[in-house]
Amino acid sequence: MAFLTDTDATYLQEKLAELLVRPVGLRLFTEPAGGLYVPGRPTCETCADAEALMNEVAALSDQIHLEIVDVSTRRDEAEQWGVSYVPTIAVGPGDEDAGVRFQGLPDGYEFTSFVETLASAGSENGHGLAPETIEALAALPTDVDIKTFVTPT
């Protein structure tokens, strides 16, 4: 089952060709569904859908590079990236860890934010921020951890 219609995929492919001037890395931390249900063991209900969607998105541009990380076999890597929930998608310019994470399946309203993040990561400076914004952020006395939550309500 495709997430994107042919019309949407064509539109996104054209827009990404305009917007992405440098490679964008997508790292999907996931856990495949086991064939056996074990009561009490948490399962990832959206991991398969997240992987399917990320494969569709990655196919839209040669500038998008997708890596699938199975946290059941690569726990150390997940910990290194600060990932404790699946699915989690790390987005950054090239292979850099820009600290940007999407937890859960970015569909519906969240998909717009996800595409805008791809465009920012693939922009010339890798973040899409204006010079004035960078100056203001540099003036902050300490590091700041920003979390943005998207909900359709």
pLDDT for residue 109: 83
Please write the tens of the pLDDT for every residue from 82-103: 999 999 999 988 888 888 999 9
pLDDT for residue 86: 94
Provide the pLDDT confidence category of residue 152 given band limits of 50, 70 and 90: low
Please, what is the angle between helix 109-121 and helix 6-19, to 10°? 30
Provide the pLDDT confidence category of residue 2 given band limits of 50, 70 and 90: confident
Minimum mean pLDDT among 38-42, 112-116, 119-123: which range? Answer: 38-42
- Average pLDDT over the chain reads 89
